[in-house]
Each structure stands twice: as C-alpha cells, then as structure tokens.
Amino acid sequence: MSAGLRAAKPENREAHSTMLIHIAVVLIVVGILLWIVNRFIPMEDSVQWILNAAVVIAVILWLLNAFRVFHSVSEMHMG
C-alpha cells in the first residue's frame, strides 16, 4: 500500500470526527436560533432578509475559517 493510501492515525480520525461533530452542532444551533427569530419575532421583510443574509455570510466565513480555507486571509494585515 502506498503512503498516500494508508489509513489516518486514530488520533487524527478522532480529531477530525470531533471537529465535524462540533461543526454540525453549531450549524444546527444557529439554524434553530435563526428559525426561532424568523418565526416568533415580528419584523419587516427587509430587516428579516438583512438578518438572514448577515447570519448566512457569518456562518460561511466561520466554515471557511474552520476548514482553514480562510485562515491565511485572516492573518493578513493592512498598513
């Protein structure tokens, strides 16, 4: 078996599965909270749309950072 096809170490698998479980729990909680806000707090459609868009953008940025896609960009400093 080549080096690229070897199974990951058990510690790495546990760390990855823990990270994925954490991400899934956070996504579920954020989704439920957003649903509760949309369902039970009366607000204008434009305000609700802006809130939903802001939450979705924040979650996407958080996911990109969690998977280290956005990590290098967040370390850049201006000036």
Please give the backbone phi and psi of residue 50, each rounded to the nearest 5 degrees, phi first: -65, -45
Q: Indicate the pTM of the whole model.
A: 0.70
Work out the average pLDDT over 8-12.
63
Residue 23 has pLDDT above 70, yes or no: yes
What torsion do the CA atoms of 19, 20, 22, 25 make, to the nearest 10 degrees? 180
Highest mean pLDDT among 3-7, 52-56, 74-78: 52-56
Rounded CA separation 61/66 (Å): 9
Domain ranges of the chain: 9-74
Q: For 24-73, what is each residue's pLDDT tens digit? A: 999 999 999 999 999 999 999 999 999 999 999 999 988 988 887 766 66
Give, in degrees to the nearest 5, the angle at Cα 75 between 64 and 57: 30
